[in-house]
Structure 1
Amino acid sequence: MKTYKQEVKNHSRDIIWKHSIDNLTSNREDSKILNSKYINRLWDFAFEDHILKYKIAEKVNEKYLNDWNSFSVQTYSNKKADQLKVAYLCGPEPQNDLDHLINLGIRIENVYAFESEKRAYNQALNSLKDSYPTLKIFNGKIDHYLKSTFVKFDIVYLDFTASLFSRDSKPFKTIITLFENQSLSNLSSLIVNTCYPDKTDENIDFLTSYFHYQAFYDYQIYDSSEKDEKGRFMEDNFSAGIIEKDEFKPYVSKNFEYAYSAFQTNFIINYSNHILPITNVLKNPLLLKRLFTMDSKTILKEIEKFEQNESIYLCPTNYSLFHFFNEIIKGDSKISRSWKNFISKNDYNGYSMEMAVKFFYMQLNAPSEGFMEILSDEMKKSIPEIMANIPDSIRNESRGLFCDVPMIHLWQELAINQLGYPYHHNTKAHKRFSYTAKERKMCVDIFTFDQCRSLYDWLPMIEYYGEDLKILERQILTRICIDAIAKHSLHILENQYFGAHIVCVNDRSWSKNHYFDIRENLK
């Protein structure tokens, strides 16, 4: 019988469960991206230091902030450990994790365990007869359970035995199922544990394709030397004079483990922030017609125009997922063929994940690049109304009112996220580490996700965006929330509310840039 009682494995469980439970209970307020401390500070900064100071308005109505704070409290609510629902892949020894959970205050009635392999499932059942006979263990894939039930989990622990981009892409398909079925709570923790893949040519090529077009990536991919003090992220390859993908491949090969580590963290949040909301909209005709034209001929024509747009190739770091998917589709390795089927399948109302990525970039660039025909009449009407009431055109000493002047794409992204239900990641609350329990080295990420519904559910219908955001307090409060989300994505995801900052990064002690710590290796 396989056993998972190694000391380092047990130590990883200590970290995983305590960190996740603390983030959702005692540290719950700090785990919110839209936490009241930051929102209230930024409100004072916006109005006292700028709007009132420069007489954009004579007074400010605090009732809007008070109302938002009240709604935020209702949206999240406080939770104790015994209220948290937990799901995990249990293997043949479910008591290993269950001991930790019970000791940390989780009720066994709120724990759901899954094991797909029949022999391991029977071993799990036998092991619990005398200790935890009331644990709910399901013999099957967690994916199937998530598709057919409506339970929302506060914590999900996916302990895989393969890498995230294994040839059948099963680990990532499980993660997608979790997100697509909205199986995580509004404020939640997702733990992903995978093994580092073998350092093969095709795996090196896969990671090279992913990071080559990134606007920023973990600096250790470029230089893993411990003596380096340049920071924890690298600006794009093109700025460093690395033009061709083959020029970048030796860096990925040399620092292969760092590259996989960065991929696991980055691709999951790329999906939860960017791909998930646009696919949620595309697969639902009711939502699709709110944001885009329903004329498929017009859509296909605009997509063709998008693919021929020279800015995609002149500024490739603004379109990294587009180029990554293109590389996969052109590739002929086993991993490329597997992922090609995965991203090209028309699962979203006749659209594929690849098509969704194009929609994502098109909606961010519609006004500037001429793709306005894809937008619905409601969007075409609301956006100019919003822009007509932006106070940032009033300047002081040749500067804008705030750090960034909001551009049109912000309101399109806001509308997508209001209807598409993304899971935004809290970078400050993130934890990642690695360990070697047996032969294989394992890679662990503990994500804290916030759906930020205290913003998105607080907004009016898209038709009323223009009228609603004429109210200065509501417009500024909306922008404050967008600023908070953007602070967790700067130098991590390109185009996540890009240019949305009211207070500049590091301008105040409380407005610092957030970035991931270097992955710790447990001994």
Structure 2
Amino acid sequence: MMYNQEVKRQSRELLINNAIDALTVNRFDSFLVSKEKLDKITDHFKGLFFKILNSKHFDAMNQLNWLIHGEKTNWYNFYDSMCQSKDASALKVLYLSGPEPLNDIEMFLNKGISLANIWAIESDKNTYQQAVSALIEAELPVKIHRGTLTEFFELTNHQFDIIYYDACTPFISPTSSPFETLKQIFLNNRLTGLSALITNFAEPKTNLNWGETLACWYASATEFQSPPIDFKLGWDEITKSTSLKDYGDYINKHLHEYYDYFLTQFISCFASEIIPIWQVFALSSVQSNFFWQEQELFKLLSTIKSEAPPTETMKDFIAMVQHYKLAVSAYPLLNWTRLSEELLGSNHVVNTFLHSKRKKMALGDALYLGSLLKSFEEGNSGFNTFTREICSPRFRELLIELDFFDRHLHLTCDIPMKNLIVELFFGLYGFPYVANTEQCLSLKYKAKETWMFSNCFIFDQCRYLYDYIPSPDLFKTFFSEIHHQVILRGCIDLIHRKHLELNPNFFKWGFVEGIGEEFGAYHLRQRRNLNEEMNQEGKIT
């Protein structure tokens, strides 16, 4: 076997093994919330609250203790109904066939996947015929479909535990883009509640200005989302966002480092925030009930995007300019959209995707609205935020009234803000897929002359949290009970903790206790260089 073929085989084996193990033998470590960890964090939270209550409140403490205990018992039963064990034989798998489909099938079968649960997809006619001939000769009656992944995910109703998307192209190119395929996976819930997505993308090519493309993303990124080389530049977010071409030149000099981080961070954010936000604002009933009618909403969007009028003093400028331009990293998805539209041109692949519509709602518009809603607290800042203007009067009043019981008690590591309530709202309707930092595997290898970047993401839809809460019109009654809030805060802490290094803006300010304390942190593993490992050891472990 040739060297390049061997390193590719080793990569596929590592990725497939990671996916199957995470969904079977390590399944209960793959859920972002476990009963044991929730019990520990909620007991800690309860203890913090009881410390500030003196003996005069003994009866109230005793009653609350029983209420929390009873609610946890109810929630554990609910959790058990949703989070169950699974054998490899029960996992349903889809992969891209290529002309030699037997290699992957052999790996799946060796790990216990049932032949009846394997789907293969191939779009090219000649390649498809080669694959069918190989399967007939091997007498392996799997399901092989001739067509594109995008159409298959859009128009069929199949759900898979594992999808292996071996794109073999750069993540973005002028002629092709995985945006549409990934969109259909997450928009149509083609992955199960606990699932694995394996991706494989080629290194960037020179037929696209990658520096400027990635500069629009990294200009509003946090430290967790940026490669170490970014800190050597020493620029703040304002400098980056107002000097995108120069920033892009710097990125081009260190393109592999930025591309490495981008693939992992962007796909995670795509699944947990970008698509769910779009889902919510495309749902006309949600739009009309909680925001504004279509015409009024688009008119408001036009105002939000407009340039501030000229001013004579800095004080007047700060009062007039949109807050998202002053606090760039506080509105990451909005500013990624804004900067991409300003710099890249309307025909760029990124902008084509941002301008694509679900019903009448463009993705980019949804990201503006979703980012503003998550910053609802900024409505009190005195800046020009629009965070409250986008809400209907009824929804605005609800968000103003709703709060966490310990908001002003300073019990926890983070002060719980209203963005946590907004995240619950998005989760209820948007069905996010939230990646587990600890279970994420990242690899790279050189095949022929091209570096390939592979990822295995383990996603949890966290329905044990989102389906636990009622619809928004009943939030007020639900939140009035402290024992409900204790369960919510425990789940939010654990989800934020296990997703932090992939998307720190998801459930931001959601910690009950810090990452340096007994509850710990979950770190993203560095991308493994398989060629380097093979050179050093003669094999890949």
Secondary structure in 2 matching 1:517: coil
Residue by residue over 1:1-50, the C-alpha shift from the partner in whole angstroms, topping out at 9 and shown as x without a partner, is xx9981111111210111000100110111001122221110111113x1
Aligned AA for 1:35?
S
Residue by residue over 1:166-219, the C-alpha shift from the partner in whole angstroms, topping out at 9 and shown as x without a partner, is 223432211111111110001110001011112567122212222122122555
Task: Find the counterpart in structure 2 of residue 518 from structure 1.
Answer: 526
Asked if residue 340 in structure 1 is aligned to residue 351 in structure 2, the reply is yes
Tell me whether 461-470 or 368-377 shows the greater mean CA deviation.
Answer: 368-377
Task: Find the counterpart in structure 1 of residue 149 from structure 2.
Answer: 142
Residue 512 of structure 2 is aligned with which of 493, 502, 507? 502
Residue by residue over 1:103-123, the C-alpha shift from the partner in whole angstroms, topping out at 9 and shown as x without a partner, is 100001111100000111011
Closer, same or farther in 2 for the Cα pair 1:277/1:221, shift >3 Å? same
In 2, the alpha carbon distance for the partners of 1:497 and 1:466 equals 20
Residues 215, 318 of structure 1: 8 Å contact kept: no
Task: Find the counterpart in structure 1 of residue 398 from structure 2.
Answer: 382
* TM-score, scaled relative to structure 1: 0.89
Residue by residue over 1:42-64, the C-alpha shift from the partner in whole angstroms, topping out at 9 and shown as x without a partner, is 0111113x122222851312011
Tell me whether 273-282 or 182-191 shows the greater mean CA deviation.
Answer: 273-282
Residue 406 of structure 2 is aligned with which of 381, 388, 391? 391
Asked if residue 104 in structure 1 is aligned to residue 111 in structure 2, the reply is yes
Residues 300, 390 of structure 2: 8 Å contact kept: no
Closer, same or farther in 2 for the Cα pair 1:312/1:383, shift >3 Å? closer
Residue 205 of structure 1 is aligned with which of 183, 200, 212? 212
In 2, the alpha carbon distance for the partners of 1:18 and 1:337 equals 37
Task: Find the counterpart in structure 2 of residue 469 from structure 1.
Answer: 479
Aligned AA for 1:191?
I
In 2, the alpha carbon distance for the partners of 1:239 and 1:142 equals 37
Q: How does 1:3-14 map to 2 (within 5 A)?
A: 6-14=5-13
Residues 216, 235 of structure 1: 8 Å contact kept: no
Closer, same or farther in 2 for the Cα pair 1:236/1:502, shift >3 Å? farther
Closer, same or farther in 2 for the Cα pair 1:479/1:320, shift >3 Å? same
Secondary structure in 2 matching 1:154: strand
Task: Find the counterpart in structure 1 of residue 81 from structure 2.
Answer: 74
In 2, the alpha carbon distance for the partners of 1:403 and 1:221 equals 26
CA apart distance, 1:247: 4.2
Q: Structure 1, unaligned stretches of length 5 or more?
A: 224-232, 395-399
In 1, the alpha carbon distance for the partners of 2:277 and 2:238 equals 32
In 2, the alpha carbon distance for the partners of 1:358 and 1:463 equals 24
Task: Find the counterpart in structure 2 of residue 480 from structure 1.
Answer: 490
Task: Find the counterpart in structure 2 of residue 373 from structure 1.
Answer: 389
CA apart distance, 1:221: 5.3
Aligned AA for 1:352?
A
Residues 496, 506 of structure 2: 8 Å contact kept: yes
Task: Find the counterpart in structure 2 of residue 170 from structure 1.
Answer: 177
Q: How does 1:66-465 map to 2 (within 5 A)?
A: 66-199=73-206, 202-217=209-224, 220=227, 222=229, 237-238=235-236, 244-301=243-300, 304-305=303-304, 308=308, 309-331=321-343, 337-345=348-356, 347-367=357-377, 368=379, 369-387=385-403, 390-394=405-409, 400-465=410-475
CA apart distance, 1:468: 0.9
Closer, same or farther in 2 for the Cα pair 1:154/1:290, shift >3 Å? farther
Secondary structure in 2 matching 1:175: helix
In 2, the alpha carbon distance for the partners of 1:82 and 1:489 equals 28
CA apart distance, 1:236: 8.4
CA apart distance, 1:234: 8.8
Closer, same or farther in 2 for the Cα pair 1:132/1:471, shift >3 Å? farther
In 2, the alpha carbon distance for the partners of 1:407 and 1:218 equals 22
Secondary structure in 1 matching 2:372: helix
In 2, the alpha carbon distance for the partners of 1:407 and 1:246 equals 36
How many residues are paired up? 501
In 2, the alpha carbon distance for the partners of 1:265 and 1:366 equals 28
Closer, same or farther in 2 for the Cα pair 1:332/1:305, shift >3 Å? closer
Task: Find the counterpart in structure 2 of residue 397 from structure 1.
Answer: none
CA apart distance, 1:365: 2.2
Residues 221, 259 of structure 1: 8 Å contact kept: no
Closer, same or farther in 2 for the Cα pair 1:332/1:499, shift >3 Å? closer
Closer, same or farther in 2 for the Cα pair 1:236/1:504, shift >3 Å? farther
Residues 18, 104 of structure 1: 8 Å contact kept: yes
Task: Find the counterpart in structure 1 of residue 313 from structure 2.
Answer: none
Secondary structure in 2 matching 1:6: helix
Closer, same or farther in 2 for the Cα pair 1:209/1:299, shift >3 Å? closer
RMSD: 2.5
Residue by residue over 1:67-100, the C-alpha shift from the partner in whole angstroms, topping out at 9 and shown as x without a partner, is 1111111112211100000011111111110000
Task: Find the counterpart in structure 2 of residue 54 from structure 1.
Answer: 52
Residues 331, 372 of structure 2: 8 Å contact kept: no
- Structure with greater helix percent: 2
Closer, same or farther in 2 for the Cα pair 1:37/1:200, shift >3 Å? farther
Closer, same or farther in 2 for the Cα pair 1:29/1:195, shift >3 Å? same
Closer, same or farther in 2 for the Cα pair 1:300/1:95, shift >3 Å? same
CA apart distance, 1:477: 0.9
Percent sequence identity over aligned pairs = 26
Secondary structure in 2 matching 1:160: strand
In 2, the alpha carbon distance for the partners of 1:340 and 1:271 equals 15
Aligned AA for 2:473?
E
CA apart distance, 1:278: 1.4
In 1, the alpha carbon distance for the partners of 2:29 and 2:210 equals 37
Closer, same or farther in 2 for the Cα pair 1:496/1:274, shift >3 Å? same
CA apart distance, 1:447: 0.4
Task: Find the counterpart in structure 2 of residue 23 from structure 1.
Answer: 22
Aligned AA for 1:238?
D
Aligned AA for 1:165?
I
- The 4+ residue runs of structure 1 with deviation greater than 4 A are 233-236, 239-243, 306-309
CA apart distance, 1:250: 4.4
Aligned AA for 1:68?
W
Residue by residue over 1:346-388, the C-alpha shift from the partner in whole angstroms, topping out at 9 and shown as x without a partner, is x22211111011011111123523432322455334334422x
In 1, the alpha carbon distance for the partners of 2:353 and 2:259 equals 20
